[in-house]
Amino acid sequence: MEERAGGRAVGRALSQRGMARATLTILVITVVSKLFGFAREAAIGAVFGATRVVDAYLVASNIPILFFAAVNAAATSVIIPNYAHVRESEGERAALRYANAALALMTAGLLAVTLLSELLTPWLVGLMAPGFGPAERALTVRLSRILLPALLFQSLAGWAAGILESNQHFAAPSAIGIPYDVLIVLGALVGGIPVAARWGAEAGVLFLAGGTLLGSLSQVLIQLPVLRRYGWRLQWAWEPRHPAIVASGRMLVPVLVNSAAGAVNLFVDRLLASGLAAGSIAALNYGNRLYGVPAGLLVMPLVTVLYPTFSAQTAAEELDAFRNGVRRGLGLIGAVALPAMVGMVLLRADIVRVVYERGAFDARASAMTAVAFAFYGLSLLGGGWSLLLSRAFWSLRDSLTPMWVGVTTVVVNVGLNLALVRVMGLGGLALSTSLASTAGGLLLLLLLRRRVGAIGGRSLAVELGKTLLASAVMAVAVEGLERLGPAAHLALLLGRSPAAPGFLVDATALVAVVVLGVAAYAAAAALLRMEAAGFFAELTSRRLGRRAASAQAEGRP
């Protein structure tokens, strides 16, 4: 509960139970959001398939993403620590005024970037997809000009999320993907069925782009009513010399560069993939999107909850609590990432078939996507650590260190891409991303230890060793179940052909294997007395579930 002392807000850091409750809130909403995300990707895949039309849409959407990924992350990441410091020293009213000042500067800058990008669209498309022919390039230019305003909308959504998360409210920021996905699905269905049937696939994909743009706008609108509940009101505040704005400015460029690293890696992947077999860009995208499910469900809730807590601890100069929180966060990410990586590799073909293989998405597209998905999955641990440790540095208002690590990661990724694409094709592109991401996470860990001192590396190593043992137990269980052929047996019981059991049978068998694998991992974790086992037991307890539901009903995080 918040206390006041000398006009300052203290006690903002979440307790163990508060962290679990907030993680549960994000997890539940993210599950719903991911289901809608599945519908979005499945709709695009079923209607348009893995074709050059989809390649053009993806390259066009990557142009605003190249900017958005950086600006959105900066909007959230720069605001949270500076908002916390202003609130700690001057109180709520001053923090809200800082938020409005940041909004004014962001809007002006984003409008300028959007207009400039509209003018440079043909050049940007040529840069990002040099392997495209004239027809694909012309279509990509048209799509890009529709999608570019998404840069403004999605970045403002990141600004709103930063304020809400600073106030330990995570529900609305977590839910913004739902209306976004719904509007994209509508655009895909309208564009891909009646419009494409009459005017062709190129006309249909324009409707898909329009749905994407409207979805981006919805991400801002859904958060505004919640912001008002926390006292925010739209007020003009042009204060470029405000101390917190100056501090934000010092952080901004390094955060932009660091946050752009992932988008640059994606750009390089797609640039090289544009010279591979048709549909390679689409396969990389589908595999990366599917990888985003475990990353979004298992890693991001923890990172999202811990970041405002880190900022509150560093603002109050509670470095012991900060170091302990970082160590615990790294252990928790390891406890979910390692078994998930094993599962993604072992079940890659089954997962892709159940999620995507229907309509125009044939066995060839499924095989290509499975390769990308498995290799992207190897980055779950290193990528999760990178996300958490970057935010730990940002909480200290140090954005230069993560920036240089991000630049190093891009260089490593590009070098590995050029080496591996020759021998592994699109699989080499995905593997390069995973190896570079893991190297970046380890480097950040070493640098943070140098900055703040020991963070309990020995106990973390012991915890990771236990996690590896539990993951090995799970792998044996999953592999044994897979060898039994659960889908074929279930099909026989239902009187269907084992060779073509159908979606429901495949999905049921896959869920059964996953559930039993998770049970094997949980049992091993309990026997090994993993630290994370207690946290997740608390997370899933009935009592905690009731408290989380009550908190949501009252409008709390």
SS3 at position 306: helix
Cβ neighbours around 537 below 10 Å, total: 14
Domain membership of residue 2 (yes or no) is: no
SS3 at position 10: strand
CA atoms of 219 and 129, how far apart (whole Å): 28
- pLDDT of 301 reads 86
Domain membership of residue 424 (yes or no) is: yes
Q: What is the mean pLDDT of the chain?
A: 80
CA atoms of 500 and 506, how far apart (whole Å): 9
Torsion of CA 229, 233, 234, 236, to 10 degrees: -150
Residue 7, pLDDT > 80, answer no
Contact partners, residue 335, CB within 8 Å, separation at least 6: 463, 467, 525, 530, 532, 533, 536
SS3 at position 9: strand
Cβ-contact 165, 76 below 8 angstroms: yes
* 3 state SS for 249-297: HHHHHHHHHHHHHHHHHHHHHHHHHCCCCCCHHHHHHHHHHHHHHHHHH
| 8 phi and psi angles, rounded to 5 deg | -105, 150
Domain membership of residue 143 (yes or no) is: yes
CA atoms of 459 and 216, how far apart (whole Å): 43
- pLDDT of 393 reads 92
Please compute the mean of the pLDDT values over residues 234-244 and round it to a whole number: 80
**361-383 tens-digit pLDDT:** 777 888 888 888 899 999 999 99
Sign of CA dihedral 191, 195, 197, 200: negative
Higher pLDDT, 190 or 547: 190
Radius of gyration of the chain (CA): 23
**26-50 tens-digit pLDDT:** 878 878 887 887 778 777 777 776 6
CA atoms of 546 and 374, how far apart (whole Å): 37
Domain membership of residue 122 (yes or no) is: yes
Domain membership of residue 76 (yes or no) is: yes
Residue 3, pLDDT > 60, answer no
Domain membership of residue 546 (yes or no) is: yes
Confidence of residue 16 (pLDDT cuts 50, 70, 90): low
Confidence of residue 542 (pLDDT cuts 50, 70, 90): very low
Higher pLDDT, 399 or 533: 399
| Residue found by looking up tokens 């699109």 in the block | 426
Confidence of residue 445 (pLDDT cuts 50, 70, 90): very high
- pLDDT of 70 reads 60
Domain membership of residue 8 (yes or no) is: no
Residue span of the structural domain in which 415 resides? 13-553
Domain membership of residue 20 (yes or no) is: yes
- pLDDT of 271 reads 80
Please compute the mean of the pLDDT values over residues 332-357 and round it to a whole number: 89
CA atoms of 344 and 304, how far apart (whole Å): 23
Nearest to 34 by CA among 170, 153, 235, 174: 174
DSSP result, 346-398 = HTHHHHHHHHH-STT--HHHHHHHHHHHHHHHTTHHHHHHHHHHHHHHHHTT-
The percentage of the chain sitting over the pLDDT mark of 70, rounded to a whole number, equals 83
Higher pLDDT, 11 or 314: 314
**58-101 tens-digit pLDDT:** 887 777 766 655 666 667 778 888 888 888 778 888 888 888 88
Domain count, the chain: 1
| Residue found by looking up tokens 């996905």 in the block | 181
CA atoms of 101 and 243, how far apart (whole Å): 11
Q: What DSSP designation does 168 have?
A: T
Residue 543, pLDDT > 70, answer no
**303-334 tens-digit pLDDT:** 888 888 888 888 777 888 888 889 989 999 99
**107-140 tens-digit pLDDT:** 888 888 888 878 888 888 777 777 777 777 788 8
